[in-house]
Structure 1
Amino acid sequence: MSEQDAVPGFAIAVVREDGKWRCTAMDPGVLGELDAAITELRKVRSTGAVFGLLGVDDQFFLLLRPSPGGISLLLSDAAAALDYDIAADALDLLRVEPPTEDDEEIWPEGALDILADLGLPAAELQVIIGEVDLYPDEQLQMIAQRCGFAEEFGKLMDSIPQ
């Protein structure tokens, strides 16, 4: 992928190990291809929880969580698949048909309970996604707050060039 094809946004790997949170920037190139993001996340070694937060072009976010049996994921706006390859890849992996051009509604697709074991029940995640006036980084900040890694997330976000 060349510089001009780069997708704007950010990708963060989040790790919870021994009761401590750690956030690390992932290569921004992963925003263009879901497989690249999954591969990079799988390289993170931890005995605790590992998941990825991808904020794409101020439009939508993806949560990715590798597991031994595959990957859990959540796409905050299914309609993003009409304009972004990584969102189309996510729907493809979920075996969900992309919405039509006529769909005006925003709805998530995937595992709403992806972070339930870390303190964010599906119903609360649905409410955060429903806050359509917020940018994806603001929604992800709310998720970080609810799960308990807001400080680490905020520090990393401040250091990422926007």
Structure 2
Amino acid sequence: MDETRRDRDAEGRARNARPRDGLGRPLPYGTPGVERQPEGVVRTPEETVRDAQRLLDAGMPFHAHEVFEDAWKSGPVAERELWRALAQLAVGLTHAARGNATGGARLLRRGAVALAEFGDARPHGIAVGGLVGWAEELAGRVEAQEGQEAPVEPVDAADEAPRLRPGGGGA
């Protein structure tokens, strides 16, 4: 493939066709990568939670973020902030797993604040309180590395994956 030409989808929109790793980082053309999540998929809330949890458990929070992003863009207006907050948590975990302590902590905290707006509600069985606690605790651990002389140690995305629902996937 000509690497100087922009990748385009069937409709002519710019799309980066480079393969990506499990954390969404672009790899050189021709390198085997992780299959990307299709964009614009309309899922039920149950499917969204199930698919995102599967990706989180596999250590692929960048890809889980894409599932949440689809829900936030296609779902009812009343639920958009829920899905957006969950997408921010997934991107925060992505950055922390890439060794970006500042970006990871910032996005984890931003997602936690937005998710906390749901209070004690459990929309679609999602463990809001548990996820807020998980995000704040992980953000604190990631931030604690910033002032150290040693390089920031990336977190293991699969080991740190939150449980979206108690019992079968809750924080």
Query: Structure 1 length as normaliser, TM-score?
Result: 0.40
Q: Which structure has more helix as a fraction of its residues?
A: 2
Q: Which structure has more strand as a fraction of its residues?
A: 1
Q: For the pair shown, which has the larger CA radius of gyration, 1 or 2?
A: 2
